[in-house]
Amino acid sequence: MREAFDQELQRIRLGLTEMLAGVRETLRLSQQMLVDRQPVALSQITALDRLTDARQDRIEEVCLRAIALHQPVAGDLRFLAAVLKSLTDVERMGDYAVHVAEDAETLNAQPALKPYVSLNQMISDLDGMLAGLDFAIKGQDLAAARRVHAADAAIDEFYEQLQRELVTYMLEDLRTIGRAMLLIRVARSLERIGDHIENVAERLIFWISGERLTRSPAAEG
């Protein structure tokens, strides 16, 4: 009985890391569209997001079955609770990555307002945070989960800096308003991905250590 339960837990863990890998790939393609202005098909990105959605449904089903059949306690129960609560966060990450690609497609039809240095760094940092989640899940690594949780502060700083910079562009030249507003929306999507990553890291910390962190209002939603 325990062996069957362990196999289900491993299947759940693998499924969650596959969801994260799908989000990373979606974000990577969105980065190519936005920063490198490469002609990536939006349909390719939305197909990846649909795959992430399908994985969410399958993992949720396995989690609920595992709880019903095995009545887990302690660390096993915390793990299943962490996964169930994290699934929506991971799914939303994928949605926001698609939003970045959609806005990139619109932006690429016009001359670039500015080099996207900060946006590129935000995406690279988010990719590193997603890799950190993967490492924490596979190795049940508390330190890795804490590093990811702390890293979201830098994403928030990038977002606030970009907002100020782009508002200045709009005030100085009204012709930039359309592009600047789109770039602010891209930055907001990236900032929200960071918030959802932070949420998952928080739940991994609870799973591994039993510690509940105080959630900031920005991490909600």
**Burial group, residue 210, by CB count within 10 angstroms (0-12, 13-18, 19+):** exposed
Of the candidates 117, 71, 89, which has an alpha carbon nearest to the alpha carbon of residue 16? 89
Which residues, given as ranges, of the chain have pLDDT below 50?
none
According to the model, what pLDDT value does residue 148 have? 98
Structure confidence at residue 140 (pLDDT): 94
pLDDT at 190: 98
DSSP conformation letters of 81-124: HHHHHHHHHHHHHHHHHHHHHHHHHHHTTS--SS--HHHHHHHH
pLDDT given at position 5: 81
How high is the pLDDT of residue 217? 52
What was the pLDDT predicted at 215? 61
Give residue 24's pLDDT.
97
- pLDDT, tens only, 68-101: 888 888 889 999 999 999 999 999 999 999 999 9
pTM, two decimal places? 0.92
Q: Residue 190: name the closest of 9, 52, 30 by CA.
A: 30
Delineate the domains of the chain, giving CATH numbers in brackets. 2-219 (1.20.58.220)
Position 86 scores a pLDDT of 96
Of 167, 139, 155, 151, the closest CA to residue 201 belongs to: 151
Please report, as a single letter, which amino acid is at residue 159.
Answer: Y
